[in-house]
Homo-oligomer: A and B are copies of this chain.
Amino acid sequence: MNDLYRRISKDDAVVLFVDHQTGLISGLVRDYGVDEFKNNVLALANTAKFFDIPVILTTSFENGPNGPLMQGLTELFPNAPMISRPGQINAWDNEDFVNAIKATGRKQLIIAGVVTDVCVAFPALSAVNEGYEVFAVADASGAFSEQVANGALMRMAHAGVQIMSWFSVASELQRDWRNDQEGFGNLLAGHLAGYENVIGTYMGAQNDVKK
């Protein structure tokens, strides 16, 4: 049964960043604002880091116009496996990439990528076919238009992929605020500009009382 609730576990998940390369983002992503998209990708990255979940990076033709990984990602994961694919478009067609996943021994794949209809959908569907539980992080993935992204999400959902946001990934991994309240709060504050203001108001209110 593909469609029911799958809970992501810190101990069984791996995060895959597929082709978040500077040229591809510049040239192909138009379904999210530029500030919003950068924030979403780095939010997912910091989520992985915070929970100490293995991360696998992969690029397509990075020596060419597709460009290197966006800077924030390489800085965050200097030691993560980084698979520069020599040509395969579907990352699953690259043995090194699949082996890197297998090496983690994990069965829950959290995938984000550029673009949603190719770099996310192809490996996501391949992984479902091989029995993995797959979680596509829609808002850390970009496409030409909302229409194209929506079609890709439909396609994946019908094949059993779980459609997620970076925030739902973080929340599922955390499970309980008490596991590290301050750490999780900082993670959220750093990537939720709206929530950061709420915290500011909250702390201001407390200061007011103390006066």
Q: Are B194 and A30 in contact (CB under 8 A)?
A: yes
Q: How far is the CB of A186 from the nearest CB of chain B, in Å?
A: 12
Residues of B within 8 A of A102 (CB): none
Decide if the interface of chain A is mainly helix, strand, loop or mixed.
Answer: helix
Give A170-199 as 1s and 0s: 1 = Cβ < 8 Å from B's Cβ atoms: 011011111101000000000011111111
Number of copies: 8
Residue in chain B with minimal CB distance to A37: B193
Give A1-41 as 1s and 0s: 1 = Cβ < 8 Å from B's Cβ atoms: 01111000000000000000011011110111111111100
Number of interface residues of A (CB under 8 A): 99
Residues of B within 8 A of A118 (CB): 167-168, 171-172
Q: Are A64 and B176 in contact (CB under 8 A)?
A: no
State A165–B148 Cα separation when bound (angstroms). Answer: 6
Residues of B within 8 A of A88 (CB): 175-177
Q: Which residues of A contact B (CB under 8 A)?
A: 2-5, 22-23, 25-28, 30-39, 60-65, 67-68, 70-71, 86-90, 93, 115, 117-118, 121-122, 125-126, 128-129, 138-139, 143-155, 157-160, 162-165, 167-168, 171-172, 174-179, 181, 192-211
